[in-house]
Chains A and B, each alone.
Chain A
Amino acid sequence: MAGYEGLRYASLGQYIPLDSPIHRADPRVKLVGAALLTIAVAIATTYSANLLLFVAIFALLKWARLRARDALLSVRPALAFILLLAAMQLLFYNGPEAQTKVLVAWGPLRISVASLRVVAVSLVRFVDLVFLTSLLLNTTTASALTYGLERLLAPLDALGLPGHELSMVGAIALRFIPILGEALETIVQAQASRGASLGGRSRWQFLQNARRMAALIVPLFVEAYRRAEEMTLAMQARCYRGGRGRTHLIRYRLNRGDYAALGASVLLFGGILVGQYIAHWP
């Protein structure tokens, strides 16, 4: 039964309790900073911009006292697939400038300056984003994240959009993951005890596989729906009326360091934009 256990420990970029300036920073600042850097990483297509971002993100990771190796550990199983994809991209890249400055050509395969750059950039981008994800999730507790999200979405409430409800959905989801994980574990064991074969499936029988999966997933959905109904009733009984007039036990206050961090990430983001689109760095 070894395979049926441990689902409740599903890791979700878990919080690692350390003490660092990044751990202590305001969740709002971390969310905004991570969003800005993610966008910057997604739009950076030149060598210089990617190098700059990589150095910045790596420095942040060190500053948060996280280890790069731990962050990359989750990637290891897919390493062969990543390399295969990179090789395909290198040989079959067919975007603009693919025909000019060809370095090596062999039949339909060719390696050009452009394809080299695309591969290098997407690998660096990948590592950057792995680091950024763990930078945000390993230094911030789930409740702090929810709080930050709610405060950031507060302007939406003023516009009549459900900002508070959005963060409520996130909070409920985070709270219920372990509970549903436990429920799933029970379901798996219950179906196994009824003789359902759950392991060792051939990949050719996907129709049967889908059926078997339904035997696990359908009770899970029914359980979740039952809990949602119960919670609806409970919240209604407590006169839940959305975010209006709700207060918090812990209030975060932005200090000078938070403003500095915010300024630094805006500056980096602007620098990437200027460098790539106006100054045309290599």
Chain B
Amino acid sequence: MSKHRPTVTRQEKALAVASERAIRRVTTAGLLLAITLLLVFTTIGMFPVPTPAGHATIAHIPAIIGGILEGPLVGLLVGMGFGFASFARATIPMFKDPLVAIVPRLFIGVTASFAFFAVRRASKPVLAILLAVLLGFMLLFSWQMAGTILWLGITWGVLSVAGAAFLFWWMRREDVQVVALGIAAAVGSLTNTVLVLSAAVLRGYIPQEAAWGIGLTHGVPEVIASGIITVAVVTALRQIGSRWRRARL
């Protein structure tokens, strides 16, 4: 006599996996959104930087992480939540404009997700070429800047060479996946900075020169912070790159 064992067809199994993935997307998006709101509505999401406004944000990081972990749709959702929260919370007129506060934020998780999935299987030489291209752009930018303000251009050039050297060293040391995380975080963070400031300039809230200033003084620390935090969080969650991992916390 055969055992009464419920037979699970392949189709049913596929359905169960699909629904699990769908549910995981919903719950992960919900919890990342909760973290976003927590970061926006308390002061934890701010860290002090040496600028007039005094603060840069890390509240866009859940959107980046959502994009990396669960794909562009979750990134979009969490980014939208971030947009609405910063709109509701805004204490300066610039962010009380939905076109500045909400629309640009939709793209944070999406670009981060695409960047991550584009480079996560790349080889180290490809990454090195990418870094070289980036360095080229930075040097071109500093050359142009040196045309108007000499010392600023030279400083910028030296800084970008130093930054590229550090990144090259870091890249040699770490897993490709970890490097991909860093790239995705930087792309997501830059998406936020560039799109928000462009929207603010287009809507006439700040002059273009001020936007460049804010972009450098806020954008750069935000890129660094989101790189550090995204890499730390996702490596902790996914247990990747554990070869080098010691208890850092």
Which A residues are closer than 8 A to B by beta carbons?
A: 7, 10-13, 38-39, 42, 74-75, 77-78, 81-82, 85-86, 88-89, 92-95, 118, 122-123, 125-126, 129-130, 133, 137, 165-166, 168-177, 179-181, 184, 191, 201-204, 206-207, 209-211, 213-222, 224-225, 227-229, 231-232, 235-236, 240-242
User: How distant is the Cα of A31 from the Cα of B224 in the complex, in angstroms?
Assistant: 38
Q: Which residues of B contact A13 (CB under 8 A)?
A: 88
Main secondary structure of the interface of B (DSSP, over half): helix
Q: Which residues of B contact A89 (CB under 8 A)?
A: 204-206
Q: Which residues of B contact A224 (CB under 8 A)?
A: 31-32, 34-35
CB distance from A43 to the nearest CB of B (A): 10
Number of B interface residues at 8 Å Cβ cutoff, please give it: 65
In the complex, identify which listed stretch (B47-55, B140-148, B171-179) lies at the interface while the others stay far away: B47-55
Among B21-46, those with CB < 8 Å from A are: 22-38, 41-42, 44
Looking across the interface, which residue of chain B has its beta carbon closest to that of A164? Answer: B26
Contact A82–B26 (Cβ < 8 Å) = no
Which B residues are closer than 8 A to A by beta carbons?
A: 16, 19-20, 22-38, 41-42, 44, 47-50, 53-54, 56, 58, 61-62, 65, 77, 81, 87-94, 96-99, 204-208, 210, 221, 224-225, 228-229, 232-233, 236-237, 248-249
CB distance from A89 to the nearest CB of B (A): 7
Contact B28–A225 (Cβ < 8 Å) = yes
Contact B48–A203 (Cβ < 8 Å) = yes
Contact A85–B205 (Cβ < 8 Å) = yes
Contact B38–A10 (Cβ < 8 Å) = yes
Contact B47–A213 (Cβ < 8 Å) = yes
Contact B30–A217 (Cβ < 8 Å) = no
Q: Which residues of B contact A92 (CB under 8 A)?
A: 207
CB distance from B246 to the nearest CB of A (A): 14
Q: Which residues of A contact B99 (CB under 8 A)?
A: 42
User: How distant is the Cα of A209 from the Cα of B26 in the complex, in angstroms?
Assistant: 32
12 pairs from A and B in contact (CB 8 Å cutoff): A88-B207, A169-B77, A177-B34, A180-B34, A203-B48, A204-B50, A210-B221, A213-B58, A218-B233, A219-B249, A225-B31, A232-B23
User: How distant is the Cα of A38 from the Cα of B114 in the complex, in angstroms?
Assistant: 32
Q: What's the count of A-B pairs with C-beta under 8 Å? A: 200
Q: Which residues of B contact A93 (CB under 8 A)?
A: 204, 207
User: How distant is the Cα of A222 from the Cα of B238 in the complex, in angstroms?
Assistant: 10
CB distance from A282 to the nearest CB of B (A): 19
Contact A74–B58 (Cβ < 8 Å) = no
Query: Contacts A122-B93, A169-B29 given: A236-B205 contact, CB under 8 Å?
Result: no
6 closest pairs, A vs B, by CB?
A172-B30, A78-B91, A173-B33, A203-B48, A210-B225, A126-B93
User: How distant is the Cα of A77 from the Cα of B41 in the complex, in angstroms?
Assistant: 14
Query: Contacts A10-B42, A173-B33 given: A75-B19 contact, CB under 8 Å?
Result: no
User: How distant is the Cα of A219 from the Cα of B102 in the complex, in angstroms?
Assistant: 28
Contact B33–A81 (Cβ < 8 Å) = no
Contact of B30 among A7, A10, A213, A228 (CB under 8 A): A228
CB distance from A12 to the nearest CB of B (A): 6
Contact A221–B35 (Cβ < 8 Å) = yes
Contact A78–B37 (Cβ < 8 Å) = no
Contact A165–B22 (Cβ < 8 Å) = yes
Contact B19–A236 (Cβ < 8 Å) = yes
Contact A82–B32 (Cβ < 8 Å) = no
Q: Which residues of A contact B224 (CB under 8 A)?
A: 206-207, 210
Contact A172–B206 (Cβ < 8 Å) = no
Most buried by A among B24, B34, B58: B34
Contact of B91 among A10, A38, A74 (CB under 8 A): A74
User: How distant is the Cα of A160 from the Cα of B217 in the complex, in angstroms?
Assistant: 43
Q: Which residues of B contact A126 (CB under 8 A)?
A: 92-93, 96
CB distance from A58 to the nearest CB of B (A): 16
Contact A206–B225 (Cβ < 8 Å) = yes
Contact of B48 among A130, A133, A206 (CB under 8 A): A206
Q: Which residues of B contact A165 (CB under 8 A)?
A: 22, 25-26
Looking across the interface, which residue of chain B has its beta carbon closest to that of A166? Answer: B77
Contact A218–B34 (Cβ < 8 Å) = no
User: How distant is the Cα of A228 from the Cα of B34 in the complex, in angstroms?
Assistant: 11
User: How distant is the Cα of A228 from the Cα of B58 in the complex, in angstroms?
Assistant: 21
CB distance from A87 to the nearest CB of B (A): 12
